[in-house]
Amino acid sequence: MSTEKDNIQDEVQDEQKTDNTVDHKDKKADKKSKKSKKSKAKKETKEQKLQREFDELNEKHVQLNDDYLRLFSEFDNFRKRKNKEIADLYITAGEKMILAIIPTIDDFERALQHIGDSEEAQAHREGLELIYNKFLNILKQNQVAEIDAKGKDFDTDFHEAITRFPAPTEDMKGKVVDVTEKGYTMGEKVIRYAKVVVGE
């Protein structure tokens, strides 16, 4: 009898051990599945984090690129404006110098018209013409040209009428009869208007 009891107890203990082993295995499997779920959740979170960081960096890149393009454009405009100002300054300075020289050229032209024909006067004429031609070369070098006015139609863009005079012929009406002071252009800009007499 005691032997049967012992056998039964042994069987019960074996069953309990088996149950405990199965429970233990089930618990391990549960833990593994929980860990795998957690690791998947972590992986998804990492992917989302990386995506978010990528989007932020991409946005910063777009913003910095836009700022760079704006800054480059502003600098380019500034550079062009400064270059134009410098070029205008040179033109203005040159224009002032030329305007200071032109009255001297007028004086040379008047002197050459009133020099006599004697031998002594001829020597003076040659000297005056030499200096006069040097002044004309300075004008050419600076793209200064005389305004051709006599016999042309009166044009307020180039001529300044100082008086009106009866036209000697019918076809000279509204045209320049005489030039009292020559006009000049520098490039395409008029720097001194020609003072003229207009026929009527």
197, β-bridge pairs: 163, 178
Q: Does 92 map to a domain?
A: no
Encode pLDDT of 128-177 as tens digits.
999 999 999 999 998 899 999 888 889 889 999 998 988 888 888 888 99
Q: Does 177 map to a domain?
A: yes
Reply yes or no on whether the pLDDT at 188 is more than 60: yes
Sheet holding 189-192, edge to edge: 144-146, 184-186, 189-192
Reply yes or no on whether the pLDDT at 30 is more than 80: no
Closest listed residue to residue 138, CA positions, set 173, 102, 168, 109 = 102
- CATH assignment at residue 154: 2.30.22.10
Name the domain count of the chain. Answer: 1
Tokens matching residue 46 = 């990492």
pLDDT at 113: 86
Threshold 0.75, pTM exceeds: no
Average the pLDDT over 22-37 and give the result.
57
Encode pLDDT of 122-137 as tens digits.
888 888 999 999 999 9
Q: Mean pLDDT across the chain, nearest whole number? A: 82
Q: Does 48 map to a domain?
A: no
Q: Does 108 map to a domain?
A: no
Instruction: Give the number of C-alpha atoms closer than 13 A to the C-alpha of residue 13, restricted to the C-beta side.
Output: 6
CA distances to 7, 125, 139, 150, 169 from 117, rounded to whole Å, are 164, 9, 29, 27, 34
β pairing state of 144-146 and 194-199: unpaired
Residue 31, judged by CB atoms within 10 A of its CB (0-12, 13-18, 19+), counts as exposed
- The residue that leads in pLDDT, 48 or 18, is 48
Average the pLDDT over 21-29 and give the result.
57
Reply yes or no on whether the pLDDT at 111 is more than 60: yes
C-beta neighbour count of 197 within 10 angstroms: 16
Reply yes or no on whether the pLDDT at 78 is more than 60: yes
Candidate from 89-98, 156-165, 180-189 with smallest mean pLDDT: 89-98
Q: Does 184 map to a domain?
A: yes
Decide if 104 contacts 128 (C-beta within 8 A): no
Confidence of residue 16 (pLDDT cuts 50, 70, 90): low
Reply yes or no on whether the pLDDT at 34 is more than 80: no
Q: Does 35 map to a domain?
A: no
Closest listed residue to residue 131, CA positions, set 147, 109, 159 = 109
C-beta neighbour count of 9 within 10 angstroms: 10
pLDDT at 32: 59
Q: Which domain holds residue 194?
A: 144-200
Q: Could you give the percent of the chain with pLDDT greater than 90? A: 38
